[in-house]
Structure 1
């Protein structure tokens, strides 16, 4: 008993000395202003409760007004410096792997897998990122992917009846597109079953990562296991086919036949899990919100319709879109940019300081998290006039616009997402008119979405057939 008391005393004493030493070190540094909040919890509860309002950035707005564009807080168990400064954000993005490294809450990393592109570091990340960029570049989309994008979008829209939940329909479209591009699967019972498991995985991203306390997280972990098992079977089968000389033109084939022996099955599965999440959740949300914003901005919708009806008028009935059609959609790209700016599906990125970093007259201590907020910059009136109003005509200049991140971790599917959204909008506005079935508002936490999945009443335009 005495020995146990002695050990507990020294453990507690050592922990106290460590905390005092660390605190005194922080006092010697000039930290960005802010508040670390309660012990252990920090300001996590304030962050979560703030985002239950309809304000897109309540937590950040309140602290920027008190402390400025660089402030200190404590969220998700760690001291964190938030940046709402475009110059600082660019500095963080460009110094990936030098001064900062990717670091995300465990609820996200556990579900994506250690070999996901979001969490990879060093040479493996560079290799995988380069491979992904090469498979989703403009020439690949033009020569190989566009025909499937056009076909699958039309196939889904042809099934619409009088009333649809647009968010659900958009998710079906993007999941089917992603499955086709990654593994050459057409829509079917197997892909739909996998999609339902993915819904459970995504629900677990921003919950407490403790299965005992969170049924949502427990379901997400089980669903992630099922998804990984299903994909592992496909990877093993495709590896055998590839070794036998049977090749397909998709992302999985590129991973299997990569230089220097390719990747292990575990690496490929984690990579596919993350890409399915990225291609499925983000693009479907942008599709939904583009329609919502356009519906609420009749002049923009009218100009978009005029642009696409001009393209459709030059094509025969049922003729698919070509790359030249996509490149002749200038106002559509303004709509895409403005939707990305206002919606900000990726609100920002987490990084960890690899050393003490001096910036803007402050020091970010080694080991601290930093959060570069894209959304707060995009919604700042100093950078965009009437920043919280949807205005696609503003896109003549865009010097602080980073919807897809930047630096070595620039989203490799940025051009593909633009093409998918543009094709979707083309077939939607030339085939349908619609009205909201009921009022639906945006929610910005844990991800941007609509509360009611944006139900709309659709009316097929018989005089224009795609």
Structure 2
């Protein structure tokens, strides 16, 4: 038997292998079970459309975060769903959102409608050295004291010129008028930024004048009046209208029409960019196109193709077109509905105005930043408005946050609006209450400008614009508003454009 014992060897080998396979299989099953428990729960809804229809329906209601609230109550603060053609995990948790914004394990990943309309060269979706360089170029120009002083003076000039015309207009539509204010302000701010980038800061002289879309395009691309400008304006408005829509490209759909408009915008911009490219030679910067071309020439690490330059130009038009003007409009709406807050705001700003008038001094950046209650009003308006209601990211590896596992390649929507309307973060969240900000700001629970490396580089100037607008509005005028309501989808706006009648007041 001993001599023939070697016949048992294969049995021992097979038996041992089977035992180890069984152990490995059980271990894997336990690991998968533990993994499944950590993956966000939820429902993906109907085939293809997922839960998009419910999402849109809630968006049109008076409480658009109701979609998130329902699922948070069912599945927890992080849940999975299917929206706008994309399966995603949604976070309504402030700490998880902060991790998504700051972690290198997440990269931009937007709904198909946004991704297709902005294109692969969009700076919104850019990563690495290119994103850091463009972000730095756009955001770095306001670091010097001279820059802040010049920008504050220009903003004030544009606001005063606009407001002076309101009493004579009878019925004023605030949503339209504030858009004109912001376009005018941004014209010279853009000019200053581009001169500052090229090192000519000391030579900057602002030449204020009244503009709308045509002059903004003149500053960005050097385009003057004519058929091309008229065509670009029409196509740009059609393009923006489809940024949030169902990802269906059938003829006649919203996305199809916007994609066609985008082609028109790109053709027009590309024609201008191509005409300005002079065999790779550095040129004197007269507009944004020149600055970006020069940046591409002098910094080979972040060389910019003409398609990227065109995308940057299109995206630079968006803030003046919607975000800040809408915040000004909503601030007027919220203050109209809360007369006690309006009175307190007026008292604080009248105190500053009397001080400046009696001393015969011009306003400074610091003066506007010293208006504590005014900034409480701005914070509260930002919290309630949620112009940017969230950001979309994709996990490039398995990431565990606060007990939740976000698997590799999963998309994540970090919902800012859900955090801003969470009663655990803000008692009576649907109540406009600037006084709640007297205790300070909790960074992770207040993210109107995003966060991390993609924190909006224009947040300071946006706050300043709103502050200057409110200061001169409430210290020089009173108003009576007609009934109006806020629409939150597909973009935040007023249903009737916020009509008011304005009268001068003495101080």
TM-score by length of 1: 0.84
Per-residue deviation at 1:404?
Answer: 0.8
The match for 2:488 is 444
What is the correspondence of 1:271-420 to structure 2 with a 5 Å cutoff?
271-316=312-357, 321-395=363-437, 396-399=439-442, 400-420=445-465
Contact 1:436 1:455 in 2 (8 A): yes
CA deviation vs aligned residue, 1:99-127 (integer Å, no higher than 9, x gap): 11101112212333433321111221111
* 1:38 counterpart = 2:46: yes
Contact 2:285 2:291 in 1 (8 A): no
* 1:190 counterpart = 2:214: yes
Looking at structure 2, the residues matched to 137 and 106 of structure 1 have their Cα atoms a distance apart, in angstroms, of: 36
CA deviation vs aligned residue, 1:412-442 (integer Å, no higher than 9, x gap): 11101001111111221122211112x2112
The match for 1:13 is none
Looking at structure 2, the residues matched to 436 and 36 of structure 1 have their Cα atoms a distance apart, in angstroms, of: 43
Report the secondary structure of 1:29's partner residue.
helix
Looking at structure 1, the residues matched to 146 and 274 of structure 2 have their Cα atoms a distance apart, in angstroms, of: 25
The match for 2:22 is none
Q: Which runs of 5+ in 1 are unaligned?
A: 1-24
Per-residue deviation at 1:239?
Answer: 6.5
The match for 2:186 is 178
Contact 1:137 1:415 in 2 (8 A): no
* 1:260 counterpart = 2:299: yes
Number of equivalenced pairs = 435
CA RMSD of aligned residues (A): 2.9
Which structure dedicates a bigger proportion of its chain to helix?
Answer: 2
Per-residue deviation at 1:226?
Answer: 4.2
Per-residue deviation at 1:164?
Answer: 1.1
Structure ID, larger Rg: 2
Per-residue deviation at 1:196?
Answer: 5.2
Q: 1:28 to 1:298 in 2, by over 3 A?
A: closer
Q: 1:227 to 1:359 in 2, by over 3 A?
A: same
Contact 2:213 2:233 in 1 (8 A): no
* 1:426 counterpart = 2:471: yes
Q: Which runs of 5+ in 2 are unaligned?
A: 1-31, 193-208, 217-229
The match for 2:131 is 125
Per-residue deviation at 1:148?
Answer: 2.0
Q: 1:226 to 1:156 in 2, by over 3 A?
A: farther
Looking at structure 2, the residues matched to 273 and 175 of structure 1 have their Cα atoms a distance apart, in angstroms, of: 14
TM-score by length of 2: 0.78
Q: 1:222 to 1:125 in 2, by over 3 A?
A: same
Select which of 148, 159, 177 maps to 2:154.
148
